[in-house]
Amino acid sequence: MGGIAGNSIAGAYSVVIANSHAKGGKDIDHGNTIYYSSTLRSSDSINNGSRILNRSIETGNPIRVIRKYTCDFIHRPLVGYRYEGLFKAVGVEEKNEGEEGGEKFWSLFRLERVAGQVGFDLNRPTESERMDYKRVKEGY
């Protein structure tokens, strides 16, 4: 889960929703509720990113969520990344698939948007920001 920044004391500070299929299950993004999938693992041991998000469930601290243009949210940014506001990790479900000896495990975290925030800024990135992004990708 390279998309998580945080520590074992406070929990997660931020999460990037990118829907990398190299992870375990797929992220499920409904806008105000996101099911965030951990990295696939071959045992039921918990990785560092999952520990950090589990700690967030315990602390209740808000988490900054940033969406990448590759996520499945219908209103995702057209290019780059966009800050989407504060969410809280409110639950986790442990998943597995495959037969014994070849099983794969992952955690599916439920993130809910904190109420009272301004709605998603669907006008971002602006046309100017998209052009800047294109120039950066081209190396100026």
pLDDT in tens, 59-81: 999 999 999 998 888 888 888 89
Domains in the chain, please, with CATH? 4-137 (2.30.280.10)
Confidence (pLDDT) at 1: 44
Per-chain mean pLDDT for the chain: 87
Bridge-based pairing of strands 11-17 and 63-68 is parallel
Confidence (pLDDT) at 45: 75
Confidence (pLDDT) at 126: 86
Q: Nearest CA to 44 among 90, 97, 2, 114?
A: 97
3-state DSSP call for residue 129? helix
Confidence of residue 91 (pLDDT cuts 50, 70, 90): very high
Whole-angstrom Cα distance, residue 68 to residue 104?
26
Residue 123 Cα distances to 42, 66, 67, 102, 126, angstroms: 41, 15, 14, 45, 6
pLDDT in tens, 1-34: 468 999 999 999 999 998 765 555 678 889 999 9
pTM of the entire structure?
A: 0.84
Give DSSP secondary structure letters for 42-65.
SSSPPPHHHHHHHHHHHH---EEE
